Structure 1
Amino acid sequence: MKRRELLKTGLAGMGGVAAATTLSAPAIAKERMEINMVSTWPRDFPGLGTGAQRFAKRLSDMSDGRIQVNYYAGGERVKPFDSFDEVASGNAQIYHGAEYYWKGKHPGFAYFTAVPFGLTYTEMNAWIRFGGGQELWDELGAEFGVKGLMCGNTGVQMGGWFRKEINSVDDLKGLKMRIPGLGGDVMAKLGASPVSLPGSQIYENLVSGAIDATEWVGPWNDSFMKFYEAAKYYYYPGMHEPGAMLAIGMNKEWWDGLSKSDQLMVNAAASMENDVMMAEYNAKNGEALAKLINEQGVKLRQFNDDVYDAFGEAADEVFETVRQHSDLAARIHDSFVASRSTVGAWAKISDQAYVEQRNRVLDL
């Protein structure tokens, strides 16, 4: 072949490659996606609300704006506790909330936020990722057309705000307390009257006397809510939420229709918020507690052993009721217990033992 012919043939071939590349680009480019995300939290509420908003923005940013998330705080599109149905029906694609809000649909959902005498943040991560928790969560969610992922945690929560001291189980009888999830069922076993309220309605009910006590999260969030204006006794530790995990729930049909890379992007954005939120709570709770005590006159109290033992006995009764609900509920509970036993045993001689000795040496 002569040199002129070779050049002509080669250039023609390169032109073909360029043409193929040009033609194939639109075929492989992903279309812009606009999704609606609803939340159970007030807009800009520290930690809970801002964490949900961070996730929404992060997902948009990670996709360079290809995935546009329209975020709606609680009450802006639907009422906070209607978020689940909004997503399950397909009217929105994602919600952010606490799964125990949906325990009326199935008690198994409570385990994917927190249950009495349950898992701490690190233990919860271990169960969900390596102890079979995610698989059970997927099975449960599929019954309602949703897919859940971890997307935040508040850590060990406080036991609550009370107008009076709690020195015995008798002090709980007749008490109207805002406390959702299985923790509310435990309080009911002990004679209290649990009330389920979204965060935006707690303060007004506590101030008006419609409720006598409330739990919420911890010092950082609770000081923002100004509960100290209506109740001065602040109890710890919360038996009901030792590591309250927050979640995104997605319409399952929508999730299943995403590409593998988009599913990984959503998962990565949620996992990052799971880590960031817990770090934020750990960073801010201590300072907030000091201000509550020193500036707001809050009286910090610890539940005594008799009260805590009663919590434990009531929790066993509640768990048995959950197990009897269905085969899936029993399997979720049994898996949770198995993980609590193995991971908790290790934590006892690792994290717990170290922190106890460190605090003793440093007199913390």
Structure 2
Amino acid sequence: MKRLFLRVMAGAVMASALVASTTAATAQTKTLKMQATWPASQTLYENFTYFVERVNKLSGGTLKIEAMPAGQVVPAFEVLDATHKKVLDGAHAWAGYWTGKNKTAILFTGGPGGTFGMDYMDVMGWFYHGGGLEYYNEFYQKELKLNVVVFPILPSGPQAFGWFNRPIQTVDDMKGMKCRQTGMAGEVWQALGFTVVNMPGGEIIPSAQRGVIDCAEWVGGVEDLRLGFHNVWKYHYSPGLHENVTVGELLINGDVWKELTPQQQEIIKSAANETFLVWWTKWQRQNADALIELQEKHGVQILRTPPEILMAFIKKWDEIAEAESARNPFFKKVHESQKAYASAVVPYKRSYFPPYSFMANYYFPDKK
């Protein structure tokens, strides 16, 4: 009896310990509610869900994120303020949407013109080795007085020039057209004669069908295919210079960030960096497949953007950026930081990296 009693007691102790352990683990699990600015149908949203999955796995389930698409809690363009106010714990967004608050925001997306010729690796280098990430957080926390922390996470470019209802060859061909565009790129097109209309991605096709807009820029490739741009327009031009290295952001409420353990913070940082790289490589293949489908299945004409238009764009952007630098000290500081970093890496890469077109033309001659 004594031996049986001891066995029963030992079992009871073990069961209690297991329950206590499970309860403690459950109590330590933290769930964050975050919303994106994209519809769930977009692969941009899949960048978000990939990040969510990695955080869950890397934390062993102790840190979970509830991902929500655009509009589930607040409208798409209100996620920044909602994160600041802790209506949301965080958001998956694009800083170019906040240029109405301060135009410096566009520079943290890569900016129109591609930040002095830098590519994605150069821009990420500026973020992590050129002071860019520090400026990014300083911008939100000190310039805009928002209680958020931010990390780059979404490489959604290079983006196409856009979709049109007729062929274009010059800037004059576009004057008077009503086109969906956003951020400071919209200012460039406005200055060149566009009538610019800003709207979230999910509103573009309905607006086109009602005749509100004549042309539109969204992303290109698979994103545009999923939204059905080919059902409205048949002339698709690329490349563009308005978002050729555009970077989306992960926003987290500052108080929520401080409540996380150091390990949880590192998990989020690592998952964001992994998401940036792994999702981007998958996305580029999806874009390649999408262009084939757009042409062969839907009869879309994929056309090369005339160099004259690209040159007009970059020159006008330089004028606008110079004017903004003259009246906005923080814009000037960030813009000059990017130029200084580019002045080192761009000439080096031009010397060491073979032009992409050299081998591309050898194996796959350009048919455009």
Deviation at 1:354, TM superposition (A): 4.4
Cα deviation digits, residues 3-57 of structure 1 (max 9, x gap): xxxxxxxxxxxxxxxxxxxxxx99x9882212111110112x2320111122123
> What is aligned with 1:12?
none
Deviation at 1:104, TM superposition (A): 1.0
> What is aligned with 1:93?
89
Does structure 2 conserve the Cα–Cα contact (< 8 Å) formed by 1:176 and 1:212?
yes
> What is aligned with 2:15?
none
> What is aligned with 1:356?
357
The one-letter code of the counterpart of 1:83 is: V
1:77 partner SS: coil
The one-letter code of the counterpart of 1:271 is: N
Instruction: List aligned pairs for 1:1-364, cutoff 5 A.
Output: 31-43=28-40, 45-118=41-114, 119-143=118-142, 144-351=146-353, 353-364=354-365
The one-letter code of the counterpart of 1:147 is: V
The one-letter code of the counterpart of 1:42 is: P
Alpha-carbon distance in structure 1 between the residues aligned to 2:30 and 2:364: 54
Q: Percent identity?
A: 27
1:324 partner SS: helix
> Which moves more between the two structures, 30-39 or 286-295?
30-39
Alpha-carbon distance in structure 1 between the residues aligned to 2:121 and 2:158: 11
Does structure 2 conserve the Cα–Cα contact (< 8 Å) formed by 1:94 and 1:248?
yes
The one-letter code of the counterpart of 1:127 is: W
Does structure 1 conserve the Cα–Cα contact (< 8 Å) formed by 2:63 and 2:264?
no
Deviation at 1:342, TM superposition (A): 2.5
Alpha-carbon distance in structure 2 between the residues aligned to 1:77 and 1:363: 47
Cα deviation digits, residues 264-291 of structure 1 (max 9, x gap): 1110111111112211121111121112
1:285 partner SS: helix
The one-letter code of the counterpart of 1:124 is: V
Deviation at 1:217, TM superposition (A): 1.1
Cα deviation digits, residues 177-225 of structure 1 (max 9, x gap): 1111121111011011222111111111122211111111121111111
Cα deviation digits, residues 295-341 of structure 1 (max 9, x gap): 21111222222222211221012202321342211111111222233
1:91 partner SS: coil
Does structure 1 conserve the Cα–Cα contact (< 8 Å) formed by 2:240 and 2:310?
no
Alpha-carbon distance in structure 2 between the residues aligned to 1:329 and 1:358: 38
The one-letter code of the counterpart of 1:68 is: K
Does structure 2 conserve the Cα–Cα contact (< 8 Å) formed by 1:154 and 1:277?
no
The one-letter code of the counterpart of 1:359 is: A
TM-score in terms of structure 1 length: 0.88
2:152 partner SS: strand
2:101 partner SS: coil
Quick one: structure 1 residues 198 and 170, their matched pair in 2 at CA, closer, same or farther if it must change by over 3 Å? same
2:204 partner SS: helix
Alpha-carbon distance in structure 2 between the residues aligned to 1:341 and 1:184: 27
Alpha-carbon distance in structure 1 between the residues aligned to 2:352 and 2:255: 42
Where do 5+ consecutive residues of structure 2 fail to align?
1-20
Quick one: structure 1 residues 67 and 124, their matched pair in 2 at CA, closer, same or farther if it must change by over 3 Å? same
In the TM superposition, structure 1's runs of 4+ consecutive aligned residues that sit over 3 Å from their partners are none
Cα deviation digits, residues 68-121 of structure 1 (max 9, x gap): 222221111111111111101112111001111111111111112232211432
The one-letter code of the counterpart of 2:361 is: R
1:296 partner SS: coil
The one-letter code of the counterpart of 1:239 is: L
Quick one: structure 1 residues 321 and 354, their matched pair in 2 at CA, closer, same or farther if it must change by over 3 Å? closer
The one-letter code of the counterpart of 2:141 is: A
Cα RMSD over matched residues?
Answer: 2.0
Cα deviation digits, residues 99-151 of structure 1 (max 9, x gap): 11111111111112232211432222111111111111011021322111011
Does structure 2 conserve the Cα–Cα contact (< 8 Å) formed by 1:178 and 1:202?
yes
Does structure 2 conserve the Cα–Cα contact (< 8 Å) formed by 1:116 and 1:241?
yes
2:250 partner SS: strand
